[in-house]
Structures are given as structure tokens and as C-alpha cells.
């Protein structure tokens, strides 16, 4: 049987302690998720820092910002910058109109309601809402994104043959329920880093994997 504690310890030895995202609070984390498209985290951080420095990371400042400066920053975030600007405006509008300009209020909600509130925003599905709440210290289980989910499925948690992504995600959550780490954010980031660096969807680097001895995929 796999041992999540040993897996996470081995990943931390290999990658080092994970760096938390620079975004703080629900609003900034929603913007962080919408800062880039299919680009490395370094570029995401660059766009995010530009918004902080040149516009301000509040709903009001983004809503009132000039189109030119938003377009310029959005162009650093990958394809279709006009769509990115539209999403930033929509995030600001929803926050102002439905949350009184302060998205921190979701942290006082019951967990399920907080998730639904965050799912009103562009690009934020259920896993994304869970991740945002996790980084804010409001967490149930171990939120995962696609890279982390792939790592745990290959190790042997859950059902890799489940019919769709949602079923796979649920099967992994059920499988790890008895082994949850004390802190979810570092675990989430370590699993994500491993999925991006070595345990890739195509041509995984099993030869360099620090947890190969614990992995069902490797043994098979």
C-alpha cells in the first residue's frame, strides 16, 4: 500500500520546500488563476506583479483601470489577451456587485457555500474553488489539480480507469481520506511540481523519479 506521508517527504527532499503563491486572500487568488494561459508560473507571477504595481489588486482599481494598461499586461499572459482583460473586468464586477467589493466575506461562509460563491468567477471550477479556500486556510481534504491528481493515480490511489475526470478525482479523495497531511497547501504544491517536472502525462521521467519505488505505475 502507498504511504502518502513518505511520498510527500521524498518529494520535499527532492524539490525542496514549496513556495506559496504571492496572492493573498480570495480576490487575489482568483486573479492569480486568471493571470495567464498555458505559460510557466514565472510568467504568471510577472503578470500578477504588474497588476499589483500598475493597477492595484482590488476590485475597484481593476474595474476603473484604463484599457491600454490592462491590455499591455494581459499580452504578457499568453494568447487572447482581450479575453483575459474581459475576465479581469468580470472578476471585478462580480466582486463589487455581489460581494460589496470585498471577497474576503466568503471565508466566513460554510464551506460548501464558499465553494459555490467562488465558482461564480471566470475559470474557477470546483477544484479551483477548493484550492483557493485551501490557500486561505479553509480546507476540507487535499485539493488537487490535474498534475497532482495524475501523480496520485499512478502511485496507486483511486481509480485510474474511472469514466471521467470527476470520477477519478472523487476516487482519489476517498482513497487518501485516512492519510491527509496536517498542512494541505505544501502537499498540493509538491504533487503539482512533481507532475509538471517528472510525472508528466506523456513520457514520464520514471528514471529520475524520487518515489519510483512507491509507485504502481513504475512497477507495472
CB-count burial class (<10 Å; 0-12, 13-18, 19+) for 4? buried
| Cα torsion 102, 103, 108, 113: sign | positive
- On whether both 109 and 186 belong to a single domain, the answer is no
Last residue of a domain, one of 135, 164, 192: 135
CATH at 63: 1.10.340.30
The predicted pLDDT at position 142 comes to: 95
Q: What is the DSSP letter of 214?
A: G
> pLDDT value at position 139?
87
Among 135, 151, 178, the domain boundary falls at 135
Domain boundary (109, 135, 161) is at 135
Q: Verify that 63 and 124 share a domain, yes or no.
A: yes
Contact 11, 210 (CB under 8 A): yes
List all residues 6 or more positions away from 214 whose beta carbon is below 8 Å from its beta carbon. Answer: 2, 3, 6, 7, 10, 155
Mean pLDDT split into 10-residue runs, the chain, 220 residues: 92 96 97 92 95 97 97 94 97 98 97 97 94 94 94 96 92 94 95 97 96 92
pLDDT at 94: 98
Contact between 180 and 142 (Cβ < 8 Å): yes
Q: What is the CATH classification number for the domain harbouring 147?
A: 1.10.1670.10
Domain count, the chain: 2
Asked if 37 and 129 sit in the same domain, the reply is yes
Q: Please report the pLDDT score of residue 37 as a whole number.
A: 86
**Segments forming the whole domain that contains residue 99:** 25-135
Q: What is the pTM for the complete model shown?
A: 0.91
Using an 8 Å Cβ cutoff, are 145 and 174 in contact? Answer: no
Amino acid at each position: 500500500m502507498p504511504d502518502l506521508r513518505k511520498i510527500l517527504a521524498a518529494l520535499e527532499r527532492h524539490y525542496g520546500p514549496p513556495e506559496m503563491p504571492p496572492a493573498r486572500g480570495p480576490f487575489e487568488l482568483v486573479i492569480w488563476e486568471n493571470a495567464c494561459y498555458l505559460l510557466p508560473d514565472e510568467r504568471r507571477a510577472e503578470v500578477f506583479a504588474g497588476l499589483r504595481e500598475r493597477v492595484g489588486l482590488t476590485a475597484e482599481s481593476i474595474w476603473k483601470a484604463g484599457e491600454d494598461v490592462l491590455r499591455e499586461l494581459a499580452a504578457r499572459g499568453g494568447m487572447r489577451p482581450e479575453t483575459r482583460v474581459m475576465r479581469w473586468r468580470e472578476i471585478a464586477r462580480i466582486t463589487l456587485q455581489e460581494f460589496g467589493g470585498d471577497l474576503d466575506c466568503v471565508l466566513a461562509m460554510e464551506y460548501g457555500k464558499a465553494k459555490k460563491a467562488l465558482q461564480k468567477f471566470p475559470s474557477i471550477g470546483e477544484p479551483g474553488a477548493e484550492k483557493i479556500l485551501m490557500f486561505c486556510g479553509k480546507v476540507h481534504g487535499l485539493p488537487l489539480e490535474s498534475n497532482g491528481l495524475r501523480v496520485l493515480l499512478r502511485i496507486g490511489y483511486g481509480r485510474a480507469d474511472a469514466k471521467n475526470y470527476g470520477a477519478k478525482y472523487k476516487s482519489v479523495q476517498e482513497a487518501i481520506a485516512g492519510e491527509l497531511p496536517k498542512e494541505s497547501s505544501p502537499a498540493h504544491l509538491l504533487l503539482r511540481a512533481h507532475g509538471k517536472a517528472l510525472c508528466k502525462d506523456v513520457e514520464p521521467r520514471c528514471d529520475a523519479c524520487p518515489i519510483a519505488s512507491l509507485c504502481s505505475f513504475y512497477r507495472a
